[in-house]
Amino acid sequence: MCSARPLSTLPVLLLFLLAPAVATASSPWTYGYFGIDLAGTKITQGADDFMEGFDDESADIRFHGGYRANRWVGIEGGFHGLGRYREGSYRAGYSAFIITGMLYLPVTRSADLYGRAGGGVAYLSENDRNFSSSSQKAVGMAGLGMQFHINPELALRAGVDLYALEPQIRGPEGAGSERSRQRIGAGYLGLSVLF
């Protein structure tokens, strides 16, 4: 029970750190945003827990929204599709709800580099001829990216993220049930609407 407490206080701590910046919110560095990313995904570790011939590459969409508190920090949350993978009639689909802290490094007035780290809840759904199951597990995430402001209302972004999780996998035909240490990498290109 004690291990859950630090995770539940993380959003409160982030809001406390960002609160002073909210009061001075009329800077070009301060804005809210929402948008969509198109991502190419790959299971970079743990794909061998599936059968030979398992297709470990996929594509998916991600929805994001956040708040940039000042020139240097922000917070972002979103629903991330992490891919749908298959082998024969077996299908495995991953998704996650993620909250991350953002650190920005302005390069020019219209371009920023950023790093982010956070976590959330990942979902795994498995389907085959004989069974269908779903499970959820904690997930950690870290990434690097670049954002380019097209105008004051739109920004393009691109980057890479790595997700770490340990789901319970039944595998093709529901034959087993073992915990698998997996890493999923994602490269993405996205568009954000700023407000």
Write the Ramachandran bin of 174: left for phi over 0, alpha for psi from -120 to 50, otherwise beta. Answer: left
Q: What is the total count of domains within the chain?
A: 1
Which one-letter DSSP state was computed for residue 70? S
pLDDT digits 0-9 by tens, 155-179? 999 999 999 998 877 766 666 677 7
Pairing of strands 31-45, 111-127: unpaired
Higher pLDDT, 90 or 139: 139
* Element at 58 (helix H, strand E): strand 57-68
Choose between 104 and 59: higher pLDDT: 104
CA dihedral 171, 174, 178, 179 (to 10 degrees): 60
pTM score: 0.80
Tell me the pLDDT tens digit for each residue of 16-38.
Answer: 555 444 444 457 789 999 999 99
**Tokens 């001075």 belong to which residue?**
24
48 versus 65: which is more confidently predicted?
A: 65
Per-residue pLDDT at 1: 41
The residue among 52, 46, 3, 80 whose CA lies nearest residue 183 is: 46
Whether residue 130 is predicted with pLDDT greater than 70 in this model: the reply is yes
Segment 79-88 shows an average pLDDT of 88
Check: CB of residue 40 under 8 Å from CB of residue 73: no
| CATH code, domain with 128 | 2.40.160.20
Q: Is 121 exposed, middle or buried (0-12, 13-18, 19+ CB in 10 A)?
A: middle
Give, in order, the Cα–Cα distances in Å from 120 to each of 64, 68, 148, 152, 180.
14, 20, 27, 30, 18
Q: Tokens standing for 27?
A: 């800077």
Mean pLDDT of the chain: 84
**169: containing domain:** 4-194
What pLDDT is stored for residue 178 in this prediction?
Answer: 73
